[in-house]
Chains A and B, each alone.
Chain A
Amino acid sequence: MPLTKRIIPCLDVKDGVTVKGVRFKDLQSVGDPSALAAEYQDQGADEIVFLDVNASVSGQKTLHAAVQKTAENLFIPLTVGGGIRSFEDVRKTLKAGADKTSINSAAVQDPSLLTRCSDAFGSQCVVIAIDAKRKGESWEVYTYSGTKATGLDTIEWSKEACERGAGEILLTSMDADGTKTGYDIELTRAVVDAVNVPVIASGGCGKIEDIVEVLTTGRADAALAASIFHYGEHTVADVKKILESKGVPIRKDVM
Protein backbone atom coordinates (compact mmCIF):
# COMPACT_ATOMS: atom_id res chain seq x y z
CA MET A 1 0.00 0.00 0.00
CA PRO A 2 1.46 3.40 -0.94
CA LEU A 3 1.06 6.46 1.24
CA THR A 4 -2.52 7.64 1.32
CA LYS A 5 -3.43 10.75 -0.63
CA ARG A 6 -3.92 13.65 1.75
CA ILE A 7 -6.86 16.04 1.93
CA ILE A 8 -5.85 19.39 3.38
CA PRO A 9 -8.30 22.17 4.24
CA CYS A 10 -6.69 25.61 4.13
CA LEU A 11 -7.69 28.48 6.41
CA ASP A 12 -6.85 32.07 5.58
CA VAL A 13 -5.98 33.85 8.79
CA LYS A 14 -5.65 37.58 9.33
CA ASP A 15 -4.66 39.04 12.71
CA GLY A 16 -5.26 35.64 14.24
CA VAL A 17 -8.82 35.41 12.94
CA THR A 18 -10.14 33.38 10.03
CA VAL A 19 -11.13 35.44 7.03
CA LYS A 20 -13.35 34.51 4.09
CA GLY A 21 -16.74 33.68 5.52
CA VAL A 22 -16.31 30.23 6.83
CA ARG A 23 -19.67 28.76 7.59
CA PHE A 24 -20.37 25.66 9.55
CA LYS A 25 -23.62 24.60 10.97
CA ASP A 26 -23.59 24.30 14.75
CA LEU A 27 -20.33 26.11 15.16
CA GLN A 28 -20.40 29.35 17.08
CA SER A 29 -16.96 30.81 16.71
CA VAL A 30 -16.61 30.84 12.96
CA GLY A 31 -13.71 33.26 13.12
CA ASP A 32 -11.63 31.09 15.43
CA PRO A 33 -9.06 29.13 13.45
CA SER A 34 -8.48 26.66 16.28
CA ALA A 35 -12.17 25.70 16.38
CA LEU A 36 -12.29 25.29 12.61
CA ALA A 37 -9.13 23.23 12.55
CA ALA A 38 -10.57 20.93 15.22
CA GLU A 39 -13.79 20.59 13.21
CA TYR A 40 -11.83 19.59 10.10
CA GLN A 41 -9.81 17.14 12.17
CA ASP A 42 -13.07 15.51 13.26
CA GLN A 43 -14.20 15.33 9.63
CA GLY A 44 -11.10 13.31 8.80
CA ALA A 45 -8.75 15.97 7.41
CA ASP A 46 -5.20 14.61 7.07
CA GLU A 47 -3.52 17.91 7.71
CA ILE A 48 -4.38 21.60 8.13
CA VAL A 49 -2.81 24.65 6.50
CA PHE A 50 -2.99 28.16 7.94
CA LEU A 51 -2.17 30.93 5.54
CA ASP A 52 -1.45 34.30 7.13
CA VAL A 53 -2.87 36.73 4.61
CA ASN A 54 -1.71 40.04 5.93
CA ALA A 55 1.47 38.93 7.61
CA SER A 56 2.42 42.15 9.37
CA VAL A 57 4.72 42.08 12.37
CA SER A 58 1.87 42.56 14.80
CA GLY A 59 -0.16 40.08 12.77
CA GLN A 60 2.53 37.48 13.27
CA LYS A 61 2.21 37.63 17.03
CA THR A 62 -1.52 37.09 16.90
CA LEU A 63 -0.97 34.33 14.36
CA HIS A 64 1.40 32.56 16.72
CA ALA A 65 -1.14 32.85 19.50
CA ALA A 66 -3.72 31.27 17.20
CA VAL A 67 -1.27 28.53 16.19
CA GLN A 68 -0.56 27.77 19.82
CA LYS A 69 -4.23 27.58 20.68
CA THR A 70 -4.83 25.33 17.67
CA ALA A 71 -1.98 22.98 18.54
CA GLU A 72 -3.58 22.33 21.94
CA ASN A 73 -6.26 20.18 20.36
CA LEU A 74 -4.89 19.26 16.95
CA PHE A 75 -3.39 15.81 16.57
CA ILE A 76 -2.76 15.96 12.85
CA PRO A 77 -0.02 18.01 11.16
CA LEU A 78 -0.35 21.78 10.92
CA THR A 79 1.45 23.83 8.26
CA VAL A 80 1.71 27.58 8.68
CA GLY A 81 2.70 29.97 5.91
CA GLY A 82 2.41 33.54 4.76
CA GLY A 83 4.89 36.26 5.60
CA ILE A 84 7.70 33.98 6.72
CA ARG A 85 10.81 36.02 6.00
CA SER A 86 13.67 34.58 8.00
CA PHE A 87 15.17 31.66 9.89
CA GLU A 88 13.93 33.30 13.08
CA ASP A 89 10.36 33.47 11.72
CA VAL A 90 10.51 29.75 10.98
CA ARG A 91 11.87 28.93 14.42
CA LYS A 92 9.18 31.00 16.14
CA THR A 93 6.40 29.52 14.05
CA LEU A 94 7.50 25.96 14.81
CA LYS A 95 7.89 26.82 18.46
CA ALA A 96 4.34 28.16 18.52
CA GLY A 97 3.13 24.71 17.50
CA ALA A 98 3.35 24.43 13.72
CA ASP A 99 4.76 21.18 12.34
CA LYS A 100 5.81 22.69 9.04
CA THR A 101 6.30 26.17 7.68
CA SER A 102 5.72 27.17 4.10
CA ILE A 103 8.11 29.72 2.64
CA ASN A 104 7.49 31.60 -0.58
CA SER A 105 8.95 35.04 -1.41
CA ALA A 106 11.78 34.88 1.12
CA ALA A 107 13.10 31.67 -0.45
CA VAL A 108 13.15 33.23 -3.91
CA GLN A 109 15.01 36.20 -2.52
CA ASP A 110 17.50 34.06 -0.61
CA PRO A 111 17.37 30.34 -1.45
CA SER A 112 19.96 29.57 1.26
CA LEU A 113 17.14 30.11 3.77
CA LEU A 114 15.77 26.70 2.72
CA THR A 115 19.10 25.04 3.44
CA ARG A 116 19.58 26.71 6.79
CA CYS A 117 16.07 25.77 7.92
CA SER A 118 16.28 22.22 6.66
CA ASP A 119 19.68 21.67 8.33
CA ALA A 120 18.35 22.90 11.66
CA PHE A 121 14.78 21.64 11.72
CA GLY A 122 14.78 18.85 9.11
CA SER A 123 13.53 19.04 5.54
CA GLN A 124 10.16 17.57 6.59
CA CYS A 125 9.16 20.92 8.06
CA VAL A 126 10.36 23.09 5.17
CA VAL A 127 7.64 23.52 2.57
CA ILE A 128 8.39 25.60 -0.50
CA ALA A 129 5.26 27.45 -1.58
CA ILE A 130 5.26 28.24 -5.29
CA ASP A 131 2.72 30.48 -7.01
CA ALA A 132 2.86 29.66 -10.72
CA LYS A 133 1.30 31.41 -13.70
CA ARG A 134 1.29 30.17 -17.26
CA LYS A 135 3.55 31.98 -19.67
CA GLY A 136 3.56 30.47 -23.13
CA GLU A 137 4.65 26.86 -22.87
CA SER A 138 5.84 27.09 -19.27
CA TRP A 139 4.92 28.60 -15.91
CA GLU A 140 6.52 31.60 -14.26
CA VAL A 141 7.04 31.89 -10.50
CA TYR A 142 5.37 34.86 -8.77
CA THR A 143 6.05 36.17 -5.28
CA TYR A 144 4.45 38.64 -2.84
CA SER A 145 0.98 37.07 -3.06
CA GLY A 146 1.16 36.83 -6.80
CA THR A 147 1.99 40.48 -7.40
CA LYS A 148 5.60 40.17 -8.49
CA ALA A 149 6.84 38.21 -11.50
CA THR A 150 10.26 36.73 -10.79
CA GLY A 151 11.35 35.54 -14.21
CA LEU A 152 11.96 32.10 -12.66
CA ASP A 153 10.66 28.99 -14.38
CA THR A 154 8.43 26.93 -12.07
CA ILE A 155 9.96 23.58 -12.96
CA GLU A 156 13.53 24.82 -12.54
CA TRP A 157 12.72 26.59 -9.28
CA SER A 158 10.95 23.48 -7.94
CA LYS A 159 14.05 21.41 -8.56
CA GLU A 160 16.38 23.99 -7.07
CA ALA A 161 14.25 24.48 -3.96
CA CYS A 162 14.33 20.73 -3.31
CA GLU A 163 18.08 20.54 -3.84
CA ARG A 164 18.42 23.32 -1.32
CA GLY A 165 16.44 21.48 1.32
CA ALA A 166 12.70 21.88 0.81
CA GLY A 167 10.93 18.66 1.78
CA GLU A 168 7.59 19.36 0.15
CA ILE A 169 6.08 21.66 -2.47
CA LEU A 170 2.84 23.58 -2.04
CA LEU A 171 2.03 24.40 -5.64
CA THR A 172 -0.62 27.00 -6.39
CA SER A 173 -1.82 27.67 -9.90
CA MET A 174 -2.57 31.38 -10.12
CA ASP A 175 -4.52 30.77 -13.31
CA ALA A 176 -6.83 28.30 -11.60
CA ASP A 177 -6.99 29.91 -8.16
CA GLY A 178 -10.42 31.31 -7.41
CA THR A 179 -12.00 29.97 -10.60
CA LYS A 180 -13.50 26.84 -9.03
CA THR A 181 -13.05 25.12 -12.39
CA GLY A 182 -10.52 22.56 -11.22
CA TYR A 183 -6.82 22.31 -10.44
CA ASP A 184 -4.22 22.93 -13.14
CA ILE A 185 -3.54 19.29 -13.95
CA GLU A 186 -0.81 19.94 -16.49
CA LEU A 187 1.16 22.17 -14.13
CA THR A 188 0.74 19.78 -11.21
CA ARG A 189 1.90 16.80 -13.21
CA ALA A 190 4.86 18.66 -14.65
CA VAL A 191 6.10 19.55 -11.16
CA VAL A 192 5.35 16.09 -9.71
CA ASP A 193 7.39 14.51 -12.49
CA ALA A 194 10.28 16.95 -12.02
CA VAL A 195 10.91 16.47 -8.29
CA ASN A 196 11.25 13.69 -5.74
CA VAL A 197 9.43 15.31 -2.81
CA PRO A 198 5.67 15.25 -2.14
CA VAL A 199 3.61 17.85 -4.00
CA ILE A 200 0.46 19.48 -2.62
CA ALA A 201 -1.77 20.83 -5.40
CA SER A 202 -3.64 24.05 -4.72
CA GLY A 203 -5.91 26.47 -6.56
CA GLY A 204 -9.10 25.92 -8.49
CA CYS A 205 -10.99 23.32 -6.52
CA GLY A 206 -14.73 23.70 -7.10
CA LYS A 207 -16.05 20.19 -6.68
CA ILE A 208 -15.08 16.78 -5.35
CA GLU A 209 -14.26 15.48 -8.84
CA ASP A 210 -11.55 18.15 -9.10
CA ILE A 211 -9.80 16.60 -6.11
CA VAL A 212 -10.14 13.13 -7.62
CA GLU A 213 -8.62 14.36 -10.87
CA VAL A 214 -5.61 16.13 -9.37
CA LEU A 215 -4.79 13.12 -7.15
CA THR A 216 -5.08 10.64 -10.04
CA THR A 217 -4.37 12.25 -13.43
CA GLY A 218 -2.40 15.08 -11.81
CA ARG A 219 -0.48 12.59 -9.60
CA ALA A 220 -0.39 15.05 -6.69
CA ASP A 221 0.31 13.58 -3.26
CA ALA A 222 -2.14 15.88 -1.56
CA ALA A 223 -4.92 18.28 -2.47
CA LEU A 224 -5.44 21.57 -0.69
CA ALA A 225 -8.87 23.18 -0.79
CA ALA A 226 -10.62 26.03 0.95
CA SER A 227 -14.04 27.14 -0.20
CA ILE A 228 -15.38 23.67 -1.02
CA PHE A 229 -15.11 22.91 2.70
CA HIS A 230 -15.66 26.34 4.21
CA TYR A 231 -19.08 26.91 2.73
CA GLY A 232 -20.28 23.57 4.03
CA GLU A 233 -20.80 22.27 0.49
CA HIS A 234 -18.88 19.14 1.35
CA THR A 235 -17.15 17.67 4.34
CA VAL A 236 -13.74 16.05 4.18
CA ALA A 237 -15.52 12.76 4.84
CA ASP A 238 -17.65 13.26 1.67
CA VAL A 239 -14.49 13.74 -0.37
CA LYS A 240 -12.84 10.67 1.08
CA LYS A 241 -15.87 8.52 0.44
CA ILE A 242 -15.76 9.36 -3.25
CA LEU A 243 -11.99 8.97 -3.44
CA GLU A 244 -12.31 5.53 -1.87
CA SER A 245 -14.98 4.51 -4.37
CA LYS A 246 -12.55 5.44 -7.16
CA GLY A 247 -9.82 3.30 -5.65
CA VAL A 248 -7.69 6.21 -4.43
CA PRO A 249 -5.88 5.26 -1.20
CA ILE A 250 -7.08 7.41 1.69
CA ARG A 251 -6.67 7.42 5.45
CA LYS A 252 -9.56 6.03 7.40
CA ASP A 253 -9.91 6.84 11.06
CA VAL A 254 -10.36 3.40 12.53
CA MET A 255 -10.59 4.29 16.18
Chain B
Amino acid sequence: MEVTIIDYGVGNLFSIARGLERAGAEVRVVSDPRSLLDAGCIVFPGVGAFGAAMNALRPVLPDLKRYISKGTPALGICLGMQVMFERSEESPGEGLALFDGDVKKLKTGRIPEMGWNDVMHQGDALFDGIPETAQFYFANSYVCHPEGKVSVAMTEYGERFPSAIRKRNLCGVQFHPEKSGLAGLRLLRNFVKIAEGTA
Protein backbone atom coordinates (compact mmCIF):
# COMPACT_ATOMS: atom_id res chain seq x y z
CA MET B 1 0.00 0.00 0.00
CA GLU B 2 1.35 3.42 -0.92
CA VAL B 3 0.70 6.07 1.71
CA THR B 4 1.06 9.75 0.81
CA ILE B 5 2.08 12.18 3.54
CA ILE B 6 1.39 15.85 2.91
CA ASP B 7 4.23 18.14 3.97
CA TYR B 8 2.83 21.51 5.09
CA GLY B 9 6.39 22.80 4.99
CA VAL B 10 7.06 22.73 8.72
CA GLY B 11 8.38 20.15 11.09
CA ASN B 12 9.57 16.63 11.19
CA LEU B 13 8.01 14.00 8.96
CA PHE B 14 10.82 11.56 9.44
CA SER B 15 9.38 9.46 12.20
CA ILE B 16 5.94 9.17 10.70
CA ALA B 17 7.46 8.12 7.37
CA ARG B 18 9.67 5.51 9.06
CA GLY B 19 6.81 4.31 11.25
CA LEU B 20 4.57 3.76 8.23
CA GLU B 21 7.36 1.98 6.39
CA ARG B 22 7.75 -0.35 9.33
CA ALA B 23 4.02 -0.93 9.10
CA GLY B 24 4.62 -2.26 5.60
CA ALA B 25 3.59 0.82 3.63
CA GLU B 26 5.44 2.50 0.81
CA VAL B 27 5.71 6.15 1.72
CA ARG B 28 5.55 9.17 -0.55
CA VAL B 29 5.97 12.66 0.93
CA VAL B 30 4.53 15.46 -1.18
CA SER B 31 4.54 19.21 -0.71
CA ASP B 32 2.20 20.00 -3.60
CA PRO B 33 -1.32 19.33 -2.32
CA ARG B 34 -2.49 18.52 -5.87
CA SER B 35 -0.50 15.30 -5.52
CA LEU B 36 -3.03 14.20 -2.91
CA LEU B 37 -5.74 13.97 -5.53
CA ASP B 38 -4.53 10.63 -6.87
CA ALA B 39 -3.25 9.21 -3.58
CA GLY B 40 -4.36 5.73 -2.55
CA CYS B 41 -4.11 6.65 1.11
CA ILE B 42 -3.42 9.99 2.80
CA VAL B 43 -1.75 10.90 6.08
CA PHE B 44 -2.17 14.40 7.51
CA PRO B 45 0.79 14.77 9.88
CA GLY B 46 0.74 16.49 13.20
CA VAL B 47 3.05 19.45 13.16
CA GLY B 48 2.46 23.17 12.88
CA ALA B 49 -0.60 25.31 13.41
CA PHE B 50 -4.17 24.88 12.08
CA GLY B 51 -4.08 27.99 9.92
CA ALA B 52 -0.73 27.14 8.35
CA ALA B 53 -1.81 23.61 7.55
CA MET B 54 -5.09 24.74 6.00
CA ASN B 55 -3.24 27.37 3.97
CA ALA B 56 -1.12 24.59 2.53
CA LEU B 57 -4.25 22.59 1.62
CA ARG B 58 -6.46 25.50 0.50
CA PRO B 59 -5.52 25.41 -3.21
CA VAL B 60 -7.20 22.01 -3.56
CA LEU B 61 -9.76 22.22 -0.78
CA PRO B 62 -13.07 21.34 -2.48
CA ASP B 63 -11.44 18.71 -4.71
CA LEU B 64 -9.58 17.14 -1.82
CA LYS B 65 -12.71 16.95 0.28
CA ARG B 66 -14.61 15.32 -2.56
CA TYR B 67 -11.73 12.92 -3.25
CA ILE B 68 -11.51 11.74 0.34
CA SER B 69 -15.29 11.56 0.71
CA LYS B 70 -15.35 9.06 -2.16
CA GLY B 71 -13.67 6.58 0.19
CA THR B 72 -9.95 7.34 0.14
CA PRO B 73 -8.50 6.10 3.43
CA ALA B 74 -6.89 8.81 5.53
CA LEU B 75 -5.26 9.21 8.91
CA GLY B 76 -4.96 12.55 10.68
CA ILE B 77 -2.40 12.83 13.44
CA CYS B 78 -2.69 15.49 16.16
CA LEU B 79 -3.07 18.71 14.16
CA GLY B 80 -3.81 16.45 11.19
CA MET B 81 -6.83 15.09 13.07
CA GLN B 82 -7.92 18.62 13.91
CA VAL B 83 -7.90 19.79 10.27
CA MET B 84 -10.40 17.01 9.50
CA PHE B 85 -13.01 19.03 11.46
CA GLU B 86 -15.03 22.05 10.41
CA ARG B 87 -13.15 24.77 12.29
CA SER B 88 -10.71 25.45 15.13
CA GLU B 89 -10.39 28.07 17.82
CA GLU B 90 -6.69 28.18 16.94
CA SER B 91 -7.05 29.97 13.60
CA PRO B 92 -9.88 31.44 11.55
CA GLY B 93 -10.95 29.74 8.35
CA GLU B 94 -12.50 26.42 7.46
CA GLY B 95 -11.14 22.95 8.00
CA LEU B 96 -11.60 19.91 5.77
CA ALA B 97 -14.92 19.14 7.47
CA LEU B 98 -14.59 15.40 6.94
CA PHE B 99 -15.95 15.12 10.47
CA ASP B 100 -18.69 17.30 11.94
CA GLY B 101 -17.69 19.39 14.93
CA ASP B 102 -14.98 21.79 15.94
CA VAL B 103 -11.65 22.08 17.70
CA LYS B 104 -11.29 23.89 21.01
CA LYS B 105 -8.47 24.83 23.32
CA LEU B 106 -7.87 22.66 26.38
CA LYS B 107 -9.26 24.33 29.46
CA THR B 108 -7.17 23.22 32.40
CA GLY B 109 -3.76 21.87 33.30
CA ARG B 110 -0.39 22.71 31.85
CA ILE B 111 -0.74 23.63 28.20
CA PRO B 112 0.44 22.21 25.84
CA GLU B 113 -0.48 18.80 27.14
CA MET B 114 2.97 17.34 26.60
CA GLY B 115 3.85 13.80 27.52
CA TRP B 116 2.40 10.33 27.85
CA ASN B 117 -1.25 9.92 28.72
CA ASP B 118 -3.67 7.02 28.98
CA VAL B 119 -5.71 6.16 25.93
CA MET B 120 -8.75 4.02 26.73
CA HIS B 121 -10.06 2.37 23.62
CA GLN B 122 -13.20 0.42 22.90
CA GLY B 123 -11.88 -2.44 20.81
CA ASP B 124 -11.79 -0.76 17.41
CA ALA B 125 -9.59 -2.40 14.77
CA LEU B 126 -7.32 0.66 14.95
CA PHE B 127 -6.27 -0.61 18.39
CA ASP B 128 -6.00 -4.28 17.50
CA GLY B 129 -3.41 -5.95 19.74
CA ILE B 130 -3.08 -2.88 22.00
CA PRO B 131 -4.16 -3.16 25.65
CA GLU B 132 -7.49 -1.48 26.51
CA THR B 133 -5.59 1.22 28.35
CA ALA B 134 -2.22 2.12 26.86
CA GLN B 135 -0.06 5.20 27.01
CA PHE B 136 0.61 7.34 23.97
CA TYR B 137 2.60 10.55 23.50
CA PHE B 138 0.61 13.79 23.26
CA ALA B 139 1.79 17.30 22.37
CA ASN B 140 -1.34 19.39 21.91
CA SER B 141 -3.10 22.51 23.16
CA TYR B 142 -6.37 21.84 21.34
CA VAL B 143 -8.77 18.90 21.22
CA CYS B 144 -11.60 17.87 18.87
CA HIS B 145 -15.27 18.09 19.81
CA PRO B 146 -16.99 15.82 17.29
CA GLU B 147 -20.71 15.73 16.69
CA GLY B 148 -22.01 12.20 16.42
CA LYS B 149 -20.53 8.92 17.51
CA VAL B 150 -17.10 8.75 15.92
CA SER B 151 -14.79 8.39 18.90
CA VAL B 152 -13.11 5.02 19.37
CA ALA B 153 -10.84 6.01 22.28
CA MET B 154 -10.98 8.55 25.07
CA THR B 155 -8.37 10.37 27.16
CA GLU B 156 -8.58 12.68 30.15
CA TYR B 157 -6.67 15.89 30.56
CA GLY B 158 -8.68 18.25 32.71
CA GLU B 159 -11.57 17.15 30.51
CA ARG B 160 -12.51 13.97 28.70
CA PHE B 161 -11.80 14.17 24.99
CA PRO B 162 -11.75 11.75 22.04
CA SER B 163 -8.14 10.70 21.50
CA ALA B 164 -9.05 8.58 18.47
CA ILE B 165 -11.92 8.78 16.00
CA ARG B 166 -12.96 6.64 13.08
CA LYS B 167 -15.59 6.69 10.38
CA ARG B 168 -15.09 3.71 8.05
CA ASN B 169 -11.54 4.19 6.72
CA LEU B 170 -11.17 7.77 7.93
CA CYS B 171 -9.16 7.82 11.16
CA GLY B 172 -7.85 10.52 13.44
CA VAL B 173 -5.66 10.33 16.54
CA GLN B 174 -4.89 13.22 18.87
CA PHE B 175 -1.64 11.61 20.05
CA HIS B 176 1.50 10.91 18.02
CA PRO B 177 1.68 7.20 17.17
CA GLU B 178 5.07 7.77 15.53
CA LYS B 179 6.40 8.97 18.91
CA SER B 180 4.62 6.43 21.09
CA GLY B 181 6.99 3.50 21.05
CA LEU B 182 5.78 0.01 20.18
CA ALA B 183 2.08 0.72 20.84
CA GLY B 184 2.26 3.57 18.35
CA LEU B 185 3.95 1.44 15.71
CA ARG B 186 1.25 -1.18 16.18
CA LEU B 187 -1.44 1.44 15.66
CA LEU B 188 0.18 2.54 12.41
CA ARG B 189 0.21 -1.07 11.24
CA ASN B 190 -3.46 -1.37 12.15
CA PHE B 191 -4.24 1.75 10.17
CA VAL B 192 -2.44 0.42 7.11
CA LYS B 193 -4.55 -2.76 7.37
CA ILE B 194 -7.72 -0.68 7.60
CA ALA B 195 -6.60 1.28 4.55
CA GLU B 196 -5.87 -1.92 2.64
CA GLY B 197 -9.23 -3.30 3.66
CA THR B 198 -7.60 -6.27 5.40
CA ALA B 199 -8.24 -5.24 9.02
Contact = CB atoms under 8 A, between A and B. Distances in A.
A124 B109 CA distance: 15
29 contacts: A1-B118, A3-B114, A4-B135, A6-B115, A72-B18, A74-B15, A75-B19, A75-B182, A76-B137, A76-B180, A77-B137, A94-B47, A95-B11, A97-B12, A120-B48, A121-B48, A122-B11, A122-B47, A123-B141, A196-B111, A197-B111, A198-B110, A221-B110, A251-B116, A251-B135, A252-B135, A254-B131, A255-B182, A255-B183
Interface string B13-35: 01100110000000000000000
B156 interface: yes
A94 B10 contact: yes
A99 B135 contact: no
B49 interface: yes
Interface string A68-85: 100111111100000000
B42 to A, nearest CB: 21
Given A124-B139, A251-B135, A254-B131, 9 more contacts: A121-B11, A124-B112, A124-B114, A167-B141, A198-B114, A221-B110, A221-B114, A252-B135, A254-B183
Contacts of A1: 117-118, 156
A150 B112 CA distance: 28
B59 interface: no
A96 to B, nearest CB: 8
Contacts of A99: 12, 15, 139, 179
Contact of B186 (A196, A222, A255): A255
A98 B130 CA distance: 27
Contacts of A167: 112, 114, 139, 141
Interface of A, helix, strand, loop or mixed by DSSP: loop
Interface size bracket, A side: 35 or more
A61 to B, nearest CB: 17
Interface residues of B, number: 43
A71 B15 contact: yes
Given A97-B15, A122-B79, A221 B10 contact: no
Interface centre among A95, A99, A222 (most CB of B within 10 A): A99
A125 B47 contact: yes
B110 A197 contact: yes
Interface of A: 1-4, 6, 41, 46, 68, 71-77, 91, 94-99, 119-125, 167-168, 196-198, 221-222, 251-255
A91 B117 CA distance: 28
A120 B135 contact: no
A224 B54 CA distance: 36
A56 B116 CA distance: 34
Closest 9 CB pairs of A and B: A255-B182, A124-B139, A97-B14, A3-B115, A251-B116, A71-B14, A4-B116, A124-B112, A251-B135
Given A1-B156, A97-B14, A221-B110, A75 B115 contact: no
Interface in B32-90: 47-49, 52, 79
Contacts of B15: 71, 74-75, 97, 99
